[in-house]
A = this chain, B = another copy of it.
Amino acid sequence: MTRTPNKTTAKAGHQSRSASACRVALIGFGTVGRAVAKILCESKDSPLRLTHICNRNVERKKQSWVSSDVVWTDDPRVVLSSNAQIVIELIGGLHPAEEIVRGALEVGKSVVTANKQLIARHGPDLLQLAASHGCQLEFGASVAGGVPVLPALRTGLCGDRLTGIAGILNGTCNYILSRIENARIPFSEALEEAQARGYAEADASEDLDGGDARAKLAILALAGLHTRVVPESIRARTIRPVDAVDFDYAADLGCTIRQISRADLRPETGQGTLFADVGPCLVPSGSPFGRVQRNLNLVLTSGQYGGDMAFLGAGAGGDPTAVAVVSDLRFVADRLSDGGKQDAKQDAAIKVSSPAISTDFETPWYLRFFVRDRPGIVAKLAEILAAHHLNIDSLLQKPGFDKAALPFVITLEPCRDSVLHPALEKMATLDFSIRPCLCLPILRES
């Protein structure tokens, strides 16, 4: 019986210790939300105190390891009218996430979110809204999960002037492509495997077709290049047509294939031009990109003063993403404890330019054809390329394939996309092609 008072004291002690801590409400109690709550509940001497958990059908979600004084609710309005100082938005998607984030900022609550679609679309406006209400908006978990790229752009790299960012930003694509690379299995089999392991959703279009990576690239461009980019203005090429045979041909070129998202800022005229592209590319097998396996993420930054930096780590998963969320929480709480208004800084953060967006990279190219074989095919293709002043760098045709569906490859010396495109349109009309030509940029190391 003597132990009960002790236990009570200990519990009460915990609460009183954290009474001065920053009050945090969590909206969205899925994988990441649970991981965030775990870290908050497990941390001793934390400057953060979880006060609310909000989720649909919240009764079914309750966990015994959550402090008994946390309020469980399925109504976000309860959170918005509470005394929480920071709202964590982890429900994802545009609605009702946008309304909740705006609602929180409008009543002076700071917001931490992992919502890439929301930030990619409305980041500049929401930052402005936060500034005008003297509160903060952080979104470090919205790109590359636990890889601290966004915080690095905000801190350790903010003294540089970045000119380019490139990354493997979608773990699903990287899992699938590295599986095809290592096992030479068909795309469909690699996709099924990724789905079975929980690395890909049943409808994986957002991942495979580049929508997910494009949103992340828009956020990196905002945070690192200070450019406002509508995600849809970035060309996204799908990885679906990539075939096991492409890894054979890529290997002959010393390369492998990865989904690469890249943005280069060229401040030539006016607000400059942002060259941006998302999609499968040939990368040297021994390069940092070529060596990224499984569902890891890699981000490379290029700075005028600091040169190139690389960040590698787990791009997704509950725990790594939760680390990014909790790190943001600590950052925001730290500033709240300063007691100052945030206006000046957030204003600075949203001084963004709106450059023209171009996909017209000058690069060498990999063109892979599947044809019904007959004499004269190479001559015909070479003729079209010559007519468009495009220089062939190599021609690869491996033996042993069915002549009715023969894959072969032409690589081109560097040329602009806009010069290549008319030639590809011309080639698309040729009757011996049994699939559209797969056209991939070849990224050489700088």
Contacts and interface: CB of A to CB of B under 8 A. Distances in A.
Given A151-B151, A155-B148, A159-B39, A310 B313 contact: yes
A166 to B, nearest CB: 14
A345 interface: yes
Given A155-B155, A158-B327, A309 B311 contact: yes
Interface stretch (A123-131, A173-181, A250-258, A331-339): A331-339
23 contacts: A39-B159, A39-B305, A47-B348, A146-B303, A146-B309, A150-B156, A152-B152, A152-B155, A152-B156, A158-B330, A159-B325, A159-B329, A160-B326, A291-B291, A305-B319, A305-B320, A306-B313, A308-B314, A309-B311, A310-B310, A335-B338, A337-B340, A337-B345
A291 B322 CA distance: 30
Contacts of A314: 306-308
Interface residues of A, number: 56
A327 B47 contact: no
A35 interface: yes
Question: In the assembly, how many copies of this chain are there?
Answer: 2
A324 interface: yes
Given A146-B305, A159-B329, A338-B345, 7 more contacts: A146-B303, A155-B331, A159-B324, A159-B330, A160-B326, A307-B320, A335-B338
Interface string A25-61: 0000000000100010000010100000000000000
A316 to B, nearest CB: 11
A325 B305 CA distance: 12
A323 interface: yes
A284 interface: no
Contacts of A147: 309
Nearest to A337: B344
A200 interface: no
Contacts of A340: 337-340
Contacts of A322: 159, 305
A327 B155 contact: yes
A102 to B, nearest CB: 24
Contact of A313 (B146, B308, B327): B308
A154 interface: yes
A326 B159 CA distance: 5
Contacts of A291: 291
Nearest to A329: B159
Residue in A156, A320, A329, A338 whose Cβ sees the most chain B Cβ within 10 Å: A156
A309 B315 CA distance: 10
A91 interface: no
A289 B154 CA distance: 27
Given A334-B345, A337-B344, A339-B338, A309 B156 contact: no
Contacts of A155: 140, 148, 151-152, 154-155, 327, 331
A322 B303 CA distance: 12
B45 A159 contact: no
A157 interface: yes
Nearest to A334: B345
B305 A35 contact: yes
